[in-house]
């Protein structure tokens, strides 16, 4: 199935105090680490955010979301508007432990599901920034944004998206809850760095703490 991959990099990183999308993970800026995984799964990948200069030297095109607000929903809408494909795999920059194997399995699962979005549940909540979004979701998503509703989780419910039950998510390759760990604070990033260093260059088996 043809799919386009997108990494969202437009957050404010308020709790981190610096741009977390550029923090190194396994020797690569976090956002580009995510993009390389998506490239292996989808082939074509773009970054989506506010400032195209941040990753001007990368091999990935940059899509500007054009919104003053930092809500992730604007990034999703911009990705869908840019994409030449109906099927899109959208991933946040700050979940670096989500493995390529899970992204591939999610895309394969979504191939058999006709829905505006296919999103895993982990940690008791939907993970819309590690999900498959279809271009058919663009018009209703834009309508919600125009009405001032920026909640992606509320949008999923309104669109009748398919939510993968937590038990099924956990059974997928790389679907362990720890792999959806969001790096939001300096403490979380420090813990991630220490665990990655303890695992060696691949960081394959480290399990970051649950929040």
**Domains by residue range for the chain, with CATH:** 4-199 (3.90.550.10)
Return the pLDDT at 17.
53
Return the pLDDT at 202.
41
Provide the strand spans (E) within 19-157: 24-25, 28-29, 44-49, 62-64, 87-92, 117-122, 125-126, 130-134
Return the pLDDT at 155.
96
pTM of the model: 0.88
Return the pLDDT at 18.
60
Q: Which helix (H) or strand (E) holds 198?
A: helix 186-199
Return the pLDDT at 206.
37
Rg (CA), the chain: 16
Ramachandran area for residue 66 (φ above 0: left; ψ -120 to 50: alpha; else beta): left
Cα pseudo-dihedral 38, 199, 128, 102, rounded to 10: 60
Q: What share of the chain is helix, strand, coil (3-state, %, to 5)?
A: 40, 20, 40
Cα separation, 126 vs 22, whole angstroms:
25
Return the pLDDT at 14.
57
Mean pLDDT in order along the chain per 10 residues (211 residues): 90 62 87 96 96 91 91 96 98 94 97 96 96 97 96 95 98 96 79 69 38 31
- Burial label for 148, CB within 10 Å (0-12, 13-18, 19+), is exposed
């Amino acid at each position: 199935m043809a799919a386009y991959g997108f990494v969202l990099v437009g957050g404010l990183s308020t709790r981190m105090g610096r741009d977390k999308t550029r923090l190194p993970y396994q020797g690569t800026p976090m956002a580009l680490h995510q993009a390389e995984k998506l490239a292996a799964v989808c082939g074509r990948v773009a970054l989506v955010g506010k400032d195209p200069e941040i990753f001007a030297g990368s091999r990935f095109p940059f899509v500007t979301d054009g919104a003053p607000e930092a809500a992730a929903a604007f990034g999703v809408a911009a990705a869908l508007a840019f994409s030449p494909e109906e099927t899109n795999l959208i991933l946040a920059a700050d979940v670096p432990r989500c493995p390529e194997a899970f992204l591939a399995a999610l895309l394969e699962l979504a191939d058999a599901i006709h829905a505006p979005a296919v999103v895993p549940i982990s940690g008791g909540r939907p993970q819309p920034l590690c999900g498959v979004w279809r271009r058919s979701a663009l018009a209703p998503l834009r309508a919600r944004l125009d009405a001032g509703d920026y909640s992606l989780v509320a949008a999923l419910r309104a669109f009748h998206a398919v939510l993968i039950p937590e038990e099924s998510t956990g059974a997928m390759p790389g679907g362990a809850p720890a792999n959806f760990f969001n790096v939001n604070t300096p403490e979380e990033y420090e813990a991630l760095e220490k665990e990655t260093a303890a695992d060696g260059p691949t960081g394959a088996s480290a399990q970051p703490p649950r929040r």
